[in-house]
Structure 1
């Protein structure tokens, strides 16, 4: 098979101009000479696999591979699989390129085997969930089935995201995002829905027969605006939502209904924070959540959640993990575009900073954490209190967490000031039942796949040792 020659001189020059780099500075980053870089920029020489790897590593958000090219997709998937911490000695870009080009069938089988390994780990989490909650056979409840559908979809739904972005751009005018007036006018005039704000037992109440919408006025302004966007999405994008639900092949009727609600929420976020503009602004402010909240008039949680959905092919954002944790430590929302996987619900590692954040509202905490596979993450967590609007209804208290692998730390403002070498990284796990660490003083349960050793004559913080 002949090697695929990649010429990208104009793209490389644009990349250098965008980052304000001289040829000498970019050449140093890529480990090549200035003359070699000049030849590449003039399309006199192609990019080698090693240089493609260096560009992807140094500019992960700018140097997007052509995801429509099968050979490039294979190389990218092989690189990701071979970079798993399971393998102590990663292969070089040249070795990966040779395998991908000369042995494509072997490369595909290796990629499939690695995917099966990852899925086996996910199955172990499902079994752990069943054991922890007495769920016979590991069967999933409707909300769990929907949660897993979003996870398996990468938390990105292309047809819905693009339709919502187009609608949001239509309504926003000269602003970054549609304001309340624009949403209200479209709901009333274009969708023929009457709208009132009133003290109400629920957050939103819609009568489809009468075309009447009631929104609880006691909610914070960002929440009221989100409820408007939800109803707008559920009505204006009904056909797109139905198409996705029909293709999801969920088992229970309740699951399909929950997915419809979840998709309307997803589209509401995409209307208020249109993909391209939100991604550009997020990069410009280095993913400073407070500044994104001001720019798009959204809540802290809404901005964090939207950042976790920026996975559009050829325009991906930083791969973040995102979750919401309540006062009891239950994970009520979760998604990870990173290698970090959460406990399926509850039982999350107590050493993770998000648990401390729940008890300290309106204060941002940061943490450098390391999982048992050796991967390090920068985490940001903030405790939030959502008022109820009434003395006899307790406010909701929870924390949200957002984080990325340290490879993307320079894009994440919350990594500033942290020592990223890992010397002071907090050793966290997924959950005690899945964590192999033998020396954790915070362990609540032994690992599901290990024996325990009990010595009646010796006692440490944990009353057993891991076999």
Structure 2
């Protein structure tokens, strides 16, 4: 970002307007001339490292906001959307879209949001699950008030000491007069947990592992003690459908439960001390791999930020049932399906072993250097015999060199495995794994030659 070639005019102009400053006043605080600031705001000059540092020191400025266009997948995300057959006749090329994104990133984001809501088929975007996910991404998966409340409660309960499950059980008994009872599977055949107010019991299935039991108890405490705080966040969202609000509220309950088990400050210190060593963090906080992966995407407290991880959950068909980007720019992980060249698919056969792979986005300028990804298969609900999924977490390779799982792994770009966003949206040529032609590209046929892939195509 600080290589002297970053154009950040719209982001800096919005910051100046937010601070209600003239160009002369802001230029004075940045120790540059008003004319130079004017050129920066018009994207006619790049932003130097010194100016970026001055912005950080003088204002509440997050340097990652300079790359805000990545919230829509950067230039490649915009190109992918304009490759829709409805726009092919307009002849909009990559250079024109690059200019659009550089000069009007908010307008580009508005188009992307409208396109994503309406979808390629032109149907209204009234899916409550999609609406809930969009609200989570609007918050960048960080709810500061809930994190602070969970941290205070964890300190009050002294969750850093002894058996976490015992501390949670005691809280329910002392504060709410609820006992915890483990019931046989035949008694709770279709449930993980149940609150029985008549018997004053929190009932848990015997099929849950220790980490899942702890999470269910923390979830119960969230619903009993922090209902108002959680509901305040949920009520602030603008939803067309109350089902979307209910899904969002359910997510916030889980967010608080995870924040209680992994209190922000202590968790971040453990991450930094261990090099984000995933197996160590699982054991230290008595959580599952999926719970840990979720938490890694939320570490965005101002002045105390963690590394920007993404997290996805996929099934054997490569469909994403969960996708949390947080502050990450890995928009390839937010598509409908994954690339079969990604080793996340191999993790199903590795029996819970952690699979590490260095990947890059084929034909993409989104991130130079690719991504370090770490995947493991899990039981879907934490109960034995339930559906199996793979949980994948990842981070830009440029930020991954000190991570525990990167030790001994070469992160040279030449060693990255190129992957795409699923065949229908991937424009990578000569891919032997391709099973569908890319949308928005014209198929080409040669009677005299048969290629190595079933589909060959030209420019949009």
> TM-score normalised by the shorter chain: which range applies?
0.7 to 0.9
Equivalent position to 2:378, from 374, 380, 384:
384
Work out whether 1:367 is the aligned partner of 2:352. Answer: no
Deviations 1:155-174 (A, max 9, x none): 11112121112111211255
- Of residues 268-277 and 381-390 in structure 1, the stretch that sits farther from structure 2 once superposed is 381-390
* Counterpart residue number, 1:348: 338
* Counterpart residue number, 1:396: 387
Matches within 5 A, 1:45-444: 50-51=49-50, 65=56, 69=59, 72=61, 77-78=65-66, 86=75, 113-118=104-109, 120-121=111-112, 131=121, 137-172=123-158, 175=161, 179-199=164-184, 200-201=188-189, 202-207=191-196, 212-336=201-325, 337-342=327-332, 344=334, 346-371=336-361, 372-374=363-365, 375=367, 376-385=370-379, 394-444=385-435
Deviations 1:185-215 (A, max 9, x none): 1112212334322122210112467754211
Unaligned runs of 5+ residues in structure 2 are 1-23, 32-46, 77-99
Deviations 1:99-121 (A, max 9, x none): xxxxxxxxxx9878224435545
Deviation for aligned residue 1:152: 2.2
Query: In 2, are the aligned partners of 1:220 and 1:387 still within 8 Å (CA)?
Result: no
Distance in 1, Cα, partners of 2:205 & 2:69:
48
Is the partner of 1:160 in helix, strand or coil? helix
Distance in 1, Cα, partners of 2:296 & 2:388:
22
Query: How many residue pairs are counted as aligned between the two chains?
Result: 385
Q: Relative to 1, partners in 2 of residues 1:292 and 1:343: Cα closer, same or farther, differing over 3 Å?
A: closer
RMSD: 3.2
* Counterpart residue number, 2:3: none
Query: In 2, are the aligned partners of 1:143 and 1:255 still within 8 Å (CA)?
Result: yes
Distance in 2, Cα, partners of 1:454 & 1:387:
48
Unaligned runs of 5+ residues in structure 1 are 7-47, 57-63, 88-108
Query: In 2, are the aligned partners of 1:143 and 1:258 still within 8 Å (CA)?
Result: yes
Query: In 1, are the aligned partners of 2:335 and 2:421 still within 8 Å (CA)?
Result: no
Q: Relative to 1, partners in 2 of residues 1:211 and 1:123: Cα closer, same or farther, differing over 3 Å?
A: farther
Deviations 1:112-170 (A, max 9, x none): 82244355456555566x54xxxx61424222221222122211111212111211121
Distance in 2, Cα, partners of 1:126 & 1:431:
19
Query: In 1, are the aligned partners of 2:118 and 2:125 still within 8 Å (CA)?
Result: no
Instruction: Give the structure-2-normalised TM-score.
Output: 0.75
Deviations 1:200-241 (A, max 9, x none): 221011246775421112211110111000111111110011
Deviations 1:239-262 (A, max 9, x none): 011101110122222222222211
Instruction: Give the structure-1-normalised TM-score.
Output: 0.74
Deviation for aligned residue 1:377: 0.7
